[in-house]
Chains A and B, each alone.
Chain A
Amino acid sequence: MYQTNMYEGMLAETVAIPSTDGDVINAYFARPLGTGPFPGMVLIHHLPGWDEWYREATRKFAHHGYATLSPNLYHREGHGTPEDVAAKVRAAGGVADDQVVGDVAGAMRYLRSLPYVNGKVGLFGTCSGGRHTVLVASRITGFDAAIDCWGGRVVMSKEDLTAKQPVSPIEYTKDLSCPLLGLFGEEDQSPTPAQVAQHEQALKAHGKTYEFHMYAKAGHGFFYYDRPAYRQEQAVDGWKKILAFLEKYLGTST
């Protein structure tokens, strides 16, 4: 834990990383200064885009001792303001699950290649990024902990499936390769508490290590301080649970 007489420094910048498909995509990277070794974190942004909140979150994880990488999952859609690019992706029905898995796998390999990363890498995502977190942690190995914040559409009906999202992530539960932390609000419409309960049942049935928290008086996106959904008490507690979970499964540099 940070003490007032400790040195703290951070490097935060845009970098380019190779994806699994050979494309090079940009990413925002923040890490503590020093030789570490630091655990790594990959942050999967939400469908509102690769935006300022995700830059702040990237630096927040770095402040807490994690070399943190947030890949731009919309890199191939062209460049503009995060909102304009995200609006384009929204109109296109999101990005393909396979592409996301490849991009996040590339980010994980990038972190593992760094001499100051301790060999542990975690995964975090909110909203569509929460769904992607569950999906990626189930489809590939290489992550040591995963955090799903209010990821909707982890449970999908047949009618919800598309060419880009052809499989409901819950179907991959047996392959979940690391411990999972889930934070949800009981007033959320996506995922609903019933869908969260269904996911939890699947995790139990397959003997997976998980920790779910359902917050009262909170809905979708209760961490977002710039939106009316923000819930101060629940958000503060949620961040504490995230850091404790990462300390347990990834360790920290201090």
Chain B
Amino acid sequence: MCTMLVHQAKISGSGKGTKGWFALREANVSYDHPFDLPLEHALNIDFVNEAEGPGARVAVELTPESARKLAHTILEMLDRAEGGGYLSPREPA
């Protein structure tokens, strides 16, 4: 891809790929050519588990506006959960 703008975040969670659920270990966030979304560049997130090979991947490709909306929505939801006392202080192993 031509921008080469990419950043990896270490994460914990589960993702559902083509072979079912698997443990997520990394989120690769890039702003570069998408594979499917009909734009030249998009905000791409690959939720992966590198140790399980290239196929352990859940992919999303978002317009920049959608990506910002998603990021704000995630943070707002976490704030509400924290305010309601629902947020677990511990990350799952």
CA distance A83 to B1 in the complex (A): 12
Instruction: Report which of B1, B39, B40 forms a contact with A48, defined as CB distance below 8 A.
Output: B1
Contact A128 B2 (CB under 8 A): yes
B4 engages A219 (CB within 8 Å): no
List, in ascending order, chain A residues with CB within 8 A of B59's CB: 83, 87
Check B2–A127 contact: CB distance below 8 A: yes
The residue in B1, B2, B38, B40 that gathers the most chain A C-beta atoms within 10 A of its C-beta is B2
Instruction: Tell whether A228 pairs with B54 under 8 Å between CB atoms, given A48-B33, A127-B2, A190-B2.
Output: no
- Which residues in A have their C-beta under 8 angstroms from that of B38? 227-228
| Chain A residue with Cβ nearest B28 | A91
Given contacts A87-B59, A127-B1, A190-B2, contact A77 B54 (CB under 8 A): yes
CA of A86 to CA of B54, assembled, Å: 9
Contact A190 B3 (CB under 8 A): yes
Q: Is the CB of B40 within 8 A of A219?
A: yes
Give residues of chain A (220-241) contacting chain B, Cβ–Cβ below 8 Å: 220-221, 227-229
Query: What's the least CB distance linking B38 to chain A, in Å?
Result: 4
Q: B55 to chain A: which residues have CB within 8 Å?
A: 80-81, 84
Interface size on A, residues (CB 8 A): 31
A91, B46: Cβ atoms closer than 8 Å: yes
Contact A153–B1 (Cβ < 8 Å): no
Is A220 a contact of B54 with CB atoms below 8 Å?
A: no
List B3-48 residues whose CB lies under 8 Å from chain A.
Answer: 3-4, 6, 8, 26, 28, 30, 32-33, 35, 38-41, 44, 46, 48
Specify the main secondary structure of chain A where it touches its partner: loop
In the complex, are the beta carbons of B40 and A90 less than 8 A apart? Answer: no
Give the chain A neighbours of B57 by CB distance below 8 A: 84, 87-88
The 9 closest A-B pairs by CB, nearest first: A152-B2, A80-B54, A91-B28, A84-B54, A190-B2, A80-B55, A228-B38, A47-B1, A85-B54
A residues adjacent to B (C-beta < 8 A)? 47-48, 77-81, 83-88, 90-91, 93-94, 127-128, 152-153, 160, 162, 189-190, 219-221, 227-229
27 contacts across the A-B interface (CB closer than 8 A): A47-B2, A47-B32, A47-B33, A48-B33, A48-B35, A78-B53, A80-B55, A81-B54, A87-B28, A87-B48, A87-B59, A88-B57, A90-B32, A90-B44, A90-B46, A91-B8, A91-B26, A91-B30, A91-B48, A93-B4, A127-B33, A152-B2, A190-B2, A220-B2, A221-B33, A228-B38, A229-B40
B residues sitting closer than 8 Å to A (CB atoms) are: 1-4, 6, 8, 26, 28, 30, 32-33, 35, 38-41, 44, 46, 48, 50, 53-55, 57, 59
